[in-house]
Amino acid sequence: QSVLTQSPSASGTPGQRVTISCSGGRSNIGSHTVNWYQQLPGTAPKLLIYSDNQRPSGVPDRFSGSKSGTSASLAISGLQSEDEADYYCAAWDDSLNGLVFGGGTKLAVL
């Protein structure tokens, strides 16, 4: 049972916009910024969004992040087949004094 809650799966067709949500609490998302990681099949995770809504250099602007209270979202617009991956949210947790991840959302591009 992950501290941060994500839907296990999501799907969309090419060109669509999909949103992945991440729910937490006051000790994690409510107190710290949220980061999103993309894990393509068989590869290491890659930083996709940091500090709630910032994109590292090289990440397309199709990817965007937002946060409100104790929940965060990752939006992917103009969905492409190469976006098929697992997506994880993460935030520091003051109660655990450690990093917590969401359980991950497997995105399928139909």
Residues that bind another protein (CB under 8 A): 2, 31-33, 35, 37, 39, 44-47, 50-51, 56, 86, 88, 90, 92, 96-104
Calpha distance 90→24 (Å, rounded)? 10
Toward another protein, which CB reaches closer, 8 or 61? Answer: 8
Do the Cβ atoms of 83 and 16 come closer than 8 Å?
no
Q: Helix (H, G, I), strand (E, B), or coil: what is residue 38?
A: strand
- Positive or negative, the CA dihedral 11, 45, 55, 7 is positive
Between 59 and 75, name the residue whose CB sits nearer to another protein. 59
CB of 104 to another protein, least distance (A): 4
Closer residue to another protein, CB minimum distance, 23 or 31:
31
Write the CA distances from 85 to 27, 48, 77, integer angstroms: 28, 12, 15
Closest separation in Å from C-beta 20 to another protein: 14
Residue type, 31: S
User: How many whole angstroms separate alpha carbon 64 and alpha carbon 77?
Assistant: 8
- Least Å distance, CB 68 to another protein, is 16
CB of 14 vs another protein, minimal distance in Å: 26
Nearer to another protein, 36 or 76 (CB): 36
